[in-house]
Amino acid sequence: MQEPSEISIVERTQRAGALITSELDSRSRRAPDYAAESAALHALAKAFTTSPSAMLQTLADTALALCRASSAGISLREHQPGQPESFRWIAVSGRCAQFVGHVIPTDESPAGVALSLGAPQLIAFPKQHFPCLSVVEPGIFEELVVPVPGAAAPRGALWVISHDAGVQFDSEHRRILTSLADFACAALSVADAKASAEARADEAEAARSSLLQAEADKDNFIATLAHELRCPLAPIDTALEVAQKLAAENPAVLSALALAHRQVQQIKRLVSDLLDASRVRHGKLCVNLDYCLIGDIVKDAIAAVGEDARRRRQHLRATLPPYPVTVYADSARLTQIVCNVLSNAVKYTPRGGEISFLVEAPDPDVLVGDELSRWDVVISVTDTGIGIAQDLLPQVFELYAQSPYLGTRADGGLGLGLSVVKYLVQAHHGIVTIASDGEGKGTCVKMRLPIVCKSGNGHSAPTTHGIPPARILLVDDSCDATEALSMLLALDGHEVRRAQCGSEALAIVESFTPDVALIDVHMPGMDGPTLAGLLKQHPQCTMTRLVALTGDTAPTERQDAVFDCYLVKPPALEDLKHVLQVEQPPRPPADST
C-alpha cells in the first residue's frame, strides 16, 4: 500500500482536474514586452547591493508587474528538527502582501506539486484543493508556480496568483517567471556566499582577538614574572657586592662570590631580555638621546663581557679610532646593543677562540657641516665561533629565533638578544646586518648608526668617579632589599635611613632631610607614587630628588611627574651614582595653607 508522500498530492490534484498546466501552451500568448523586462532587470541588478530580504522582495514586485498578476511571492523551503518540511512566504507582493511570513506544509501546497514534478505548473482554483490557502482573501482563480533551482535541490518556488477570472496566465508568463526564478537562484547563491564570507570573517576576527588577548596575557605574565624575579634578585645582587667589599683580603671567598655574582648577572640578563622583548613587541622600548663618547660606551661594554671572555681564554681585541668620538645617542641603550652582540660572540665562540671588535668613525674635529649634522659610526663584531647555517640567517633577528644546536646549550639564552639589538639600532635610525659562511665558520655582526657629531658638545655618559657622600632615604617593603642596598651605600660613605612603608618614611623625614629618596613603586598600603606625592609637599623635602625603583617598567616608559627619574630594580651602582651626581633644582616651597 502506497504511503502518503508528495506524489499523493500530485495525484489528487490531477484527479480533481485542477492541474491545467497544458493550457499554458494552448492559450493565446501575449506579446513580449522586452522594454519592461529590460527595465526590470536593471532594477534587479541594483537590488543585488541591498539585503537578501530586500532583493527577494524586489523579485516578487517584478513578477507581479511583468505578469500583471493580482499577487506574487517567493516561497523558500524550511526544515525544523522534528517537524515536517514546509514553505515560508519570504517575500509577497500585491493583494496577499499581508501574508508575508506565512508557513504552509510542503505536502499540501501548490509549490510542493511544482517541485515534485520538477517543472512549472498551472493550478485552477487552488483554494478548493489546498486547505493551507484558505486564509487567502479574496478567492484565487488560478496560480502559476515555477520552481526556484538550487545547487543540490530546488530552493523553493516563485508564484503569481490571479484573483480575477478575466486574468489568465499563458506560456509567456511561464517564460518570464522561469527567467526570474533563475535570477532568484543567483541572488540566493550570492546571499549565501556573502553570509558564509561574513561568518568566516567573524571567525577570523574572533580568532585574531583571541590571539591578541593571549599575547597580552603572555606579556602581562612575563612582566609579572620579571618583577617577581627582580625582587629577590635585588638583595642577592647587592649582598654579593657588599660581601666582596668585606672579603677583600680573602681570595677563596672572593672567587666563590665572583662565581655567584656571574650567575646572578646571567639571570638578570635573562629577565631583562624578557622585559625588553615584551616592550619591543608593543613598540615601548624607547631611547633618550644625549651627547656621549663612543669610548665610554666601548669601555662599559667590554667591562661587562671581559670576565667571561677571560674565563674562556678567548682573545678579545678591540680597535677604536685614535681620537675621541662624540655621538648623539642613548648611552645606556647603545651600551646594551654592543653588550648583546659581544655577549653572543663570547657565548658561541669556543674556548681559545678569537673575537674582533672594531669601531670605525670619522674624526669629529675635521667634519664639515653644521652642529645638527650626523655621520655614521660602524661597529663590527667578528668571531671564530660556531657560525650560523645559511637557512637560519634570515630569521636571526626574529623574537625567540635560535638554532636547534644553540637551544641545547646551558648558556643558550632565550633567542631575544638580536631582536632587541635590531629594534634599538633602528630606533637610532641605523641598520644592522649579520653574515656567516655557515656552521663552524664564525659570524660577523655589523651595525651602522648615523650618530657621530662634532666635538665640543658636552656629554652625559656615566662615569665611575667617586662622588660626595649623600643623605639617602631608602623605602622598600622588602626587608632584605633595603638592608643589602643600605649596606652597600653605607660602605660608599653615604648616610642612609631605611623604611619599609610610607608612614614610616614620613616619620623619618620629620628629623632627617634626604638628598635623595629611593622609593619602591609597588608597596602594600601606601604605594610609591602616593608617598612621593606626599614627600613633594613636605617642607623637609623641597630639594629631595625622588627616584622610583621598579621591577616591571622601564624608566623611559613612565610619563607621570611624581618622580624625578626611574631606575629598574636592582639598581646598578653606576645608575645610582649618575642619579646622585645630577643636581636637582629647588622646588617651590609647599603652600603653608
Say if residue 311's pLDDT is above 70: yes
Looking at residue 580, its pLDDT comes to: 72
What is the CB neighbour count within 10 angstroms for residue 163? 18
d(CA 549, CA 517): 10
Cell of 531: 608617598
Mean of the per-residue pLDDT values of the chain: 81
Q: Give the percent of the chain with pLDDT over 90.
A: 20
Say if residue 30's pLDDT is above 70: yes
Looking at residue 462, its pLDDT comes to: 37
**585 band by pLDDT with thresholds 50, 70 and 90:** very low
- Residues in the chain, how many? 593
Fold of 289-452: Heat Shock Protein 90 (3.30.565)
Q: Give the pLDDT confidence of 446-479 residue by residue, as tens digits.
A: 999 998 988 654 434 333 335 678 889 999 988 7
What's the pTM value of the predicted model, to 2 decimals? Answer: 0.44
Enumerate the H helices of 367-501 as residue ranges.
417-427, 479-491
d(CA 51, CA 54): 5
Q: Report the range of poorest mean pLDDT among 175-184, 247-256, 273-282, 521-530.
A: 273-282
Say if residue 592's pLDDT is above 50: no
The 495-499 sheet, strands edge to edge? 495-499, 471-475, 516-520, 545-550, 565-568
Looking at residue 421, its pLDDT comes to: 86
How confident is the model over 561-582, as a mean pLDDT?
74
How confident is the model over 242-266, as a mean pLDDT?
77
Bridge partners for 144 per DSSP? 122, 160
Say if residue 47's pLDDT is above 50: yes
How confident is the model over 113-132, as a mean pLDDT?
89
Say if residue 92's pLDDT is above 90: yes
Q: Report the range of poorest mean pLDDT among 262-266, 319-323, 325-329.
A: 262-266
Looking at residue 269, its pLDDT comes to: 66
Looking at residue 270, its pLDDT comes to: 65
Bridge partners for 317 per DSSP? 356
Say if residue 275's pLDDT is above 80: no
Per-domain residue ranges of the chain: 6-195, 289-452, 471-581
Q: Give the percent of the chain with pLDDT over 70.
A: 83
Looking at residue 502, its pLDDT comes to: 92
Taking alpha carbons only, the member of 330, 317, 331 closest to residue 359 is 317
Q: What is the DSSP letter of 237?
A: H
Helix%, strand%, coil% for the chain, nearest 5: 45, 20, 35
- 5 CB-contact burial (10 Å; exposed 0-12 / middle 13-18 / buried 19+): exposed
Going by their DSSP bridges, the two strands 471-475 and 516-520 should be labelled as parallel
Taking alpha carbons only, the member of 121, 122, 143 closest to residue 132 is 143
**560 band by pLDDT with thresholds 50, 70 and 90:** low
Taking alpha carbons only, the member of 588, 536, 585 closest to residue 562 is 536
Say if residue 262's pLDDT is above 50: yes
d(CA 275, CA 552): 8
**572 band by pLDDT with thresholds 50, 70 and 90:** low
d(CA 348, CA 445): 13
Question: Which amino acid is it at 144?
Answer: L
How confident is the model over 284-313, as a mean pLDDT?
82
Looking at residue 43, its pLDDT comes to: 76
The residue among 290 and 142 whose pLDDT is bigger is: 142
Looking at residue 72, its pLDDT comes to: 93
DSSP, collapsed to helix, strand or coil, labels residue 170 as coil
183: which residues sit within 8 A by CB, 6+ positions away?
A: 41, 44, 59
What is the CB neighbour count within 10 angstroms for residue 80? 9
CB 568 within 8 A of CB 554: yes
Looking at residue 415, its pLDDT comes to: 47
The alpha carbon dihedral of 223, 225, 226, 232 has a sign of positive
Bridge partners for 472 per DSSP? 496, 516
Q: Report the range of poorest mean pLDDT among 59-68, 183-192, 357-366.
A: 183-192
If you search the block for the grid coordinates 631611547, which residue do you land on? Answer: 287
CA 236: distance to chain centroid? Answer: 36
Looking at residue 485, its pLDDT comes to: 78
d(CA 227, CA 247): 30
The reply to whether domains 6-195 and 289-452 share a CATH topology is no
Highest mean pLDDT among 125-129, 306-310, 445-449: 445-449
Looking at residue 553, its pLDDT comes to: 47
Peptide bond into 570 cis (omega under 30): yes
Fold of 471-581: Rossmann fold (3.40.50)
**492 band by pLDDT with thresholds 50, 70 and 90:** confident
How confident is the model over 176-201, as a mean pLDDT?
85
**280 band by pLDDT with thresholds 50, 70 and 90:** low
Fold of 6-195: Beta-Lactamase (3.30.450)
Looking at residue 364, its pLDDT comes to: 81
